[in-house]
Amino acid sequence: MLARIHSLLGVLLLGGFLVHHLLSLGPVTGGAGAWLIAHPEAGSGGGLTAVVVVVLLLHGALGIARRRRAPADGATGAGLGRLQLVTGLLALLFVLYHLGQVWAHVTTGDRPAHAAAYDSYAALWRTLGSPLDLGIYIVGISALCFHLGHGLARLPATWGLSLGFSATAHRDLLARVFGGLIGIALWLGFLQILGHFALGEPLLPGGPNPLHDLAAPDARR
């Protein structure tokens, strides 16, 4: 039961939010204006963010409790189990760092939600040109995507699902392929967004050039 609750929190709630977050950030490669037009409610999700942080902390606590009770998961392997623990801790630290970095630059007061979102956009635009911040984001995003991909790969074993296979080895292989593909797809998607803030354009060209927004964040101050 502990394993299933841990899996439910991680894969369904946190994984679902991670996919939603990536999809909602898609228009950002066209610049701040394109993003705010596509999501005029951006910046008003403080309550949702608080819920996500609570779920993330609970998921992390359950993960540590599981490792203490069964440090060598025979189905996962001790090496992968330790790597999952390390990537989980890195992901937690990265999320807290990201939230602190983004919300620390939001100007308080009687302002519309989109103004707060613009402050967050401006903070990322200013800081992700730094090699240190860029490295932190690359490591954090990689840890998040690996952790979710491995969690998806373990989902059938955790819930006792056969997926139509009589042999667990075949089931586990399919689950690993599926989890790996999802993790890689999310990783590439977030790197596309990261390229916009770090390089001035997404990694894959073809979208609108966002450089006209370069001076806009500072012009508002």
| Residue 19: CATH number of its domain | 1.20.1300
Closest CA to 210 of 8, 11, 7, 37: 37
Domain of 170, in residue numbers: 2-219
pLDDT one digit per residue (tens) for the chain, 221 residues: 888 888 888 988 899 999 988 988 888 888 777 777 766 555 555 677 788 889 999 998 888 888 777 654 444 556 677 888 899 999 999 999 998 888 766 655 555 555 667 777 888 888 888 999 999 999 999 999 999 999 999 888 888 888 888 788 888 899 999 999 999 999 999 999 999 888 887 777 655 444 444 434 443 33
Number of domains comprising the chain: 1
Backbone angles phi, psi at 148, to 5 degrees: -70, -45
Please tell me the distance from the alpha carbon of residue 90 to that of residue 125, in angstroms, as a whole number.
Answer: 23
Report the SS3 class of residue 160.
coil
